Amino acid sequence: MRRTAVCAAALLLAVSPAGAHLVSTGMGPVYDGMSHFLLSPPSLAPLLGLALWTGLRGPDHGRWALFTATGAWSCGSVLGLALAPPGVAASLSTAAMCLILGILAAADFEAPIVLTVVLAALIGLLDGAMSAAAAGTAAGLAAIVGSSAAVFALMALTASSIVPLRLLWLRIAVRVTGSWLAALGLLLMGWAIRARAHLPWAAFR
């Protein structure tokens, strides 16, 4: 019992605010990269949407999306470290990705594998770049390895748990989750436009 209480206390203490910097776990850069990804909802949401949609579409789509998105995430993270895209681009792109993937999952949209691969590559690149830019210069290559491993694990677990679903109401539950994700994207877009002082076209108003 005491051991469980100590574990619970350690877990609760480990929950830190998601900031615009790399999460420090004290276990090295690989785990820091993993933690940064897993504790950053803006990075998680689009990839979960991709896993939901490709999981509904079947094992072929799931496999292609898994490997493409993970590879693209790694490349995007390297690019993000080098280019450091602005924060407004991050919020708008997260909103757009959530909206598009949420609609695809809610509609259970049938697409060719080529489209799945292209979307997975785009989302991996964008999301990886934004995540690495948010993590800052402290995120080295080791942190990118950690975050890529977390991306792979998250997508594999999510998609593989959706692929075998055959019961209608379970598939509908996944589609409802997709519609929630799309609604989230739309609201995030509203938030970004509301804070238009940070938008590029604010100077022209």
Partner 1 sequence: MRGRIDPRSTPPGRTRPRITPVSWILTLGYASCAQAHILAGETIGFWSGFRHPVSGLDHIVAMVSVGLWGAQLGKPAIWALPVTFPLVMAVGGFLGLVGVPLPGVEIGIAASAILLGAAVLCEARPPLPLAAALVGVFAIFHGYAHGAELPPGDSALLYSLGFIVATGLLHGCGITVGLMHRWPWGRRLLRVTGAGVLATGSMFLWKAL
The correct pick among 54, 70, 74, 94 for binding partner 1 (CB under 8 A) is 94
The amino acid at 200: P
Q: Are 116 and 54 a contacting pair, CB within 8 Å?
A: yes
Per-residue contact string for residues 47-86; x = within reach of partner 1 by CB under 8 A: ----------------------------------------
Q: Lay out the site mask for partner 1 across 20-49 (x = CB under 8 A, - = otherwise).
A: ---------------------xx--x----
Longest dimension (CA), the chain: 62
Sites for partner 1 among residues 169-188 (CB under 8 A): 169, 172, 175-176, 179-180, 182-184, 186-188
Triad 116, 173, 49: Cα angle to 5°: 30
Cα–Cα dist 4/11, whole Å: 10
Tell me if 10 contacts partner 1 by CB under 8 A. no
Residue 118 interacts with partner 1 (CB under 8 A): yes or no: no
Out of 6, 16, 161, 198, the only residue in the binding site for partner 1 (CB under 8 A) is: 16
Minimum Å distance from CB 181 to partner 1? Answer: 9
Distance between CA atoms of residues 125 and 141, nearest Å: 16
Residue with tokens 């072929």: 60
167 binding partner 1? (CB under 8 A): no
Phi-psi map region of 72: left, alpha, beta (phi>0 left; psi -120 to 50 alpha) = alpha
